[in-house]
Amino acid sequence: MNSTDTRTQILDTAQELIQRVGVNAMSYQDISEAVGIRKASIHYHFPTKDDLLAALLDRYNAHFLRLVDGIIAQPAPAETKLRHYCSFYEATLSSGNGDKACLYGMVGAELATLKHPLAERVAKFYSDNAERLAQILQEGKETGDFGFAGDVQIMATLIFSLLEGGQLIARAYGGITQYRAVVEQLMRLVKG
């Protein structure tokens, strides 16, 4: 197995574990067993857990925001764009055993245990998403697709919070069916 493939496997496995059990419950031993390599091999690529987490957050951030930017660039109605954005969270929740949450949501839940640069990455991901949601919402207000009352930026933060927190609640109660119902209620709220 070449070094690049091993690095990718480590990142993929760590992401899967964190999205299910969180940062603090995931260990290099867990990754070692899942990938079938020694812990020393993981340390070769990522000397510390913080190094692993930084690489993982950067990779996820770049991928996720590229997808969101693709949605924003589409020549589609704002409602379609917002539904497409929401579908990313639904896809994550419904994947595997229906027990995954957004990587940043899981990491954010353990923010107090993270070192400062990692916490900054989480805060930046949250603000970048709220900013992009605000673009979609503003477009919808301008075209008349959305008629909600109040501030666009606050509504964007509300939606982001609902999607992130909704995954955690759905994992414990109601599953994907409840999550979809919550998203439909959100769409009714946004339409005004």
**126: CATH:** 1.10.357.10
Query: Per the domain annotation, does 85 fall within a domain?
Result: yes
Q: What is the number of domains present in the chain?
A: 1
Which strand (E) or helix (H) includes residue 107?
A: helix 103-108
Has residue 114 been placed in a domain? Answer: yes
| 62 within domain boundaries | yes
Q: Classify residue 144: in a domain, yes or no.
A: yes
Tokens of 60: 């996820």
In a domain, 187, yes or no: yes
What is the spatial distance between Cα 186 and Cα 31, in angstroms, rounded to a whole number? 37
| Residues 191, 146 contacting (CB under 8 angstroms) | yes
In a domain, 20, yes or no: no
pLDDT at 129 over 80: yes
* 140-148 mean pLDDT: 96
Q: What are 147-188's pLDDT values in tens digits?
A: 999 999 999 999 999 999 999 999 888 889 999 999 999 999
Could you read off the pLDDT of 25-79 as tens digits, one per residue?
999 999 999 999 999 999 999 999 999 999 999 999 999 999 999 999 999 999 9
Please tell me the predicted confidence (pLDDT) of residue 95. 87
How many angstroms separate the first and last alpha carbons of the chain? 55
pLDDT surpassing 70 at residue 3: no
For residue 137, how many C-alpha atoms fall within 13 Å in the half-sphere facing its CB? 25
The per-residue pLDDT of the chain, averaged, comes to 93
CA distance 104 to 165: 11
The alpha carbon of 83 is separated from its chain's Cα centroid by a whole number of angstroms, namely 15
DSSP 112: G
Per the structure, the complete domain to which residue 174 belongs is given by: 48-191
Confidence (pLDDT) at 2: 59
Residue 148, in any domain of the structure: yes
Averaged pLDDT, 10-28:
95
The predicted pLDDT at position 96 comes to 74
Domain membership flag for residue 175? yes
pTM of the complete model: 0.91
